[in-house]
Chain A
Amino acid sequence: MKHKVAVTINGRKHEHEVEARLLLVHYLRDVVGLTGTHIGCDTSQCGACTIHVDGKAIKSCTMFAVQADGRNLTTIEGLAKEGKLHPIQQAFWDEHGLQCGYCTPGFIMAAAYLLEQNPNPTEDEIRRGLEGNLCRCTGYVNIVKSVQSAAKVMGGASTTAGRSAVTAGGE
């Protein structure tokens, strides 16, 4: 039996009939065709599939597509605006915060949420805030630097750049 799902993804409305068991990440990748959100594990450990649902970072492998009905989603494809990189994307590029790039969209989405919650995090707060994302290439050193650099650019208290794509405080 199929169920109707209506979601807004990166500002565009989508409607599909899906199986109840379809994972949100598979919905994004296989049904909507947004393949920037990746899958790295099957136990919700790696965070490669992190997106924003109503402004909150969630692991989209741990949510069914039907649970997203009526929600507002932002994926990595929706972060850059009008051809301009989000400051976190820019910081990952500047600070060599990625190597193979596979875990990167998840890290960027998780970092965007972290900086919304805590615009001026300490190194320890960054490490604790992003411990739900795994990277096998970088040793995290430059990921931490990227987030620190983005926080600086985003000006601490001002979070407009990071929030332009999402409806904050959805719940």
Chain B
Amino acid sequence: MAVSQLVGAKIHRREDPRLITGHGRYTDDLTRTGLVHLAVVRSPHAHARIKSIGVEAAKKSPGVLGVFTAQDFKDIIAGPATHPVAPVFAPDKKVNPPRYPIAREEVCYQGEPVAVVVAEQRYQAADAAQLVDVEYDPLPAVMEIEEAMKPGSPKAHTDQPDNIAWDATYVPWEATEEAFKTADVVVKQRILQRRLSPNAIESRVVMAEYDPFDKRLTMWMSTQNPHWIRLFVSGALGMGEHSVRVVSHDVGGGFGSKISPYPEDYLVPAVSKLVERPVKWTETRTEAVQNAYAGRGQIYDVEASAKKDGTLLGMRVTQLLDCGAYIGTFGAFQTCACLLAGGAYKWKAISSRSIGVLTNKITTDPYRGAGRPEATHVAERMIDLLAVELKMDPVELRRKNFPAKEEFPFTQNFGLVMDSGDYNASLDKALKLFGYDQMRREQAEARKQGKLVGIGLSTWIEICGLGPGAVTGPATGGVVLSESAQVKVHPAGGVSIYVGTHNHGQGNDTTHAQIAADALGVPIEQIDIRHGDTNEGPGFGYGTYGSRTLAVGGVAINRACAKVVEKGKKVAAHILEAAEEDIVFDQGKFHVKGAPDKSKAFGEVAFAAYGQLPAGLEQGLEAVAYFEPPNFVWPFGAHICAVEVDAETGNAQITKYVAVDDCGNIINPMIVDGQLHGGIAQSIGQALYEEMVYDQDGQLRSATFLDYTIPSMNEIPNIQLDRTITPSPTNELGVKGIGEAGTIAATAAIINAICDAVSPLGIKHVDMPATPDRLWNQIKEARK
């Protein structure tokens, strides 16, 4: 690439001026002439049979255009009315209940749509929804994973044989027999990953307009991957993708909850077809907490063994994954924890098994990190439990078992190739920044005074940059997660770039422009980055999730720019009257080899590209590139946390938090730091506060921000960051991903610190969220 000018620089975000002045274009900010509003009538029961639905009173309510139930969609949504997306990544599908956008006879989670109401005004739709009279016959709900696994347990769906969605062993237990037989130390632990509600501050919104004459559908919505939604919705509505346009301008956060399709994604356009008006549905927060695909919801049973010198031997992991009422479209991706539970360490052998279990709750699906925070938590907790048994410093135990820098690319236990790493370097830097030795001395002093002070580490790794087709293809039934970009250079030299990824806060509009500015050697102001409109750019875009946008999408941009430069050389050769192979492109200029003064600027070549050209050379200066990565990329780092636990209140206070992370080459350091801050804060939320709580009948008791605690400013400490840079060999930019790193890393550091703090009381393990009441009870028990 051209000499780097903008890559690596702190460039102010170009998307910010509209966002800080109130001129963003979030979906609920948009309207259409003749717009009507949709409200969803939802099941109040976790499990019930629908006896009858009375719609007459609602139909008579002021402003109402229609009330629709499952039978009204029979001829509109294909199938009839089946949710058209088969879950992917599931290791096998024993029980895979069909999902309908709207319930027909049986509701299987609280919040499942039963009817929709359309009215002229927002409040009228909400009023009328209250008047829909649904009579239910309640059925027993199955809410707990282990309960659901028992033979004879109530079934989440009455028409299915049982609740086991899958039961897959990746490596059998015999493979680790030797590693446990020869061990000096074995530790066992059950580790909980409770259900989390993603809670992007913008809830989901869908607006659809069906044009009955041109037979075209346009949808504006809050999504992370508009092309996938177009594929799913066009299929379900029996329309070609060419006649469906999905637009997703500004999106107020995603965190994974805006990847998979939702019932409303089908219902809103279908209703627009029925009433021949543009229709908007705006989710309330309570609807969002109840119905947004939840994160985590897993139980891990783990054992790990080591020699007394600290050499790690074997690990056995069983993952019990609460699928909810239906297998999420990408929910089974979370089984990747079974392949990554060994973390950053060399193990002789690892066995793992995943069991997916259906319950009467909202579906689980990827939530920031998806499978990798869980794997990190397992690995880092087990290392600390071993360190306690071995009476070793947790730093030393980690160091002893890291692959050395020279061993990369390193093939881990499940055959995945970790592309690059220098785990000691990030740990060294973090220890220094934290003042580890001094902090340990202070801890010893504090303990003498009876204080519960702890220090915890997380030397995390991550697999991201989805993904190489050779790996994702077999796991998804052929879906390859490459990425596309189109670069159009206009005659006067302006550049429009269309990307298949999406920007919902990651700052891609800026970082992508930085990459292109360097690759094309043109000023960044001359480049417009466009995303989120399926009518623009390449035929398909794969979207933003899994920390893939830069390492896959960024590379596609770079390659499309390279194609443009190649074409530019042909044009330059023509106007410079030189041979094409003699043309050199350097910092935005094309010149003849050995004669830098004989040159043409990028803009001159662009103009010439649309003029008279020799035979065989087409007009135009534009290119499309798709990039399918040859491997995943593997960021890593070291987080160190200090906590003080108040034995009288159970409150755990983070007193210091240090993170040294490595995501390869950096395009914009300001944005990298921001992603880490946010990721760590979300992880603090999981470690200390967040949990979706249901009662035994399936009623969600944490359905608002009053009951579901997402951290405010007061709960998040100042976070000290630093970095190391180990370029990735997987792509020519040398980049990895950073969007999920903070969330993947931090729970383990915090919980390890809390466990260290309460260890003088004989407590070995603390589960998340380590809320004051839970910690207080655990301390009280320990003191008995």
Contacts and interface: CB of A to CB of B under 8 A. Distances in A.
Interface of A: 19, 21-22, 26, 29-30, 34-43, 45-46, 48, 75-77, 79-80, 85, 89, 92-94, 96, 98-105, 108, 123, 126-128, 130-144
A101 B250 contact: yes
Contact of A42 (B286, B680, B713): B286
A149 to B, nearest CB: 13
Given A42-B286, A130-B713, 12 more contacts: A21-B123, A46-B705, A77-B22, A80-B21, A93-B17, A93-B20, A99-B507, A104-B19, A131-B714, A137-B505, A139-B680, A139-B719
Nearest to A41: B285
Contacts of B123: 19, 21-22
Closest 9 pairs between A and B when the two form their complex, measured CB to CB: A36-B22, A102-B252, A101-B19, A139-B681, A100-B505, A139-B677, A76-B22, A99-B505, A45-B705
A139 B673 CA distance: 11
Interface string B1-25: 0000000000011011101111110
B285 A43 contact: yes
B704 A41 contact: yes
A107 to B, nearest CB: 10
Interface of B: 12-13, 15-17, 19-24, 26, 28-29, 122-123, 199-203, 250-253, 255, 284-286, 504-507, 670-671, 673-675, 677-682, 704-706, 710, 712-714, 716, 718-719, 742
B40 to A, nearest CB: 15
B670 A96 contact: yes
A36 B21 contact: yes
Contact of A101 (B252, B674, B675, B682): B252
13 contacts: A29-B29, A39-B28, A40-B252, A43-B706, A99-B505, A103-B252, A104-B19, A135-B201, A137-B678, A139-B677, A139-B682, A139-B742, A141-B716
Contacts of B250: 100-102
Contacts of B23: 36, 77
B678 A139 contact: yes
B20 A26 contact: no
A37 B706 CA distance: 21
A38 B202 contact: yes
Given A100-B200, A101-B24, A94 B12 contact: yes
A89 B20 contact: yes
A80 B123 CA distance: 32
Contacts of A103: 201, 252
A77 B21 contact: yes
A141 B20 contact: no
A158 to B, nearest CB: 22
Residue of A34, A40, A123, A133 with highest tally of chain B CB at under 10 A: A40
B592 to A, nearest CB: 43
B286 A98 contact: no
Contact of A137 (B21, B253, B286, B704): B253
Nearest to B679: A139
A109 to B, nearest CB: 10
A102 B22 CA distance: 9
A11 to B, nearest CB: 15
B491 to A, nearest CB: 31
Nearest to B704: A43
Nearest to A79: B21
Residue of B674, B675, B681 with highest tally of chain A CB at under 10 A: B674
A46 B201 contact: yes
Nearest to B23: A36
B201 A127 contact: no
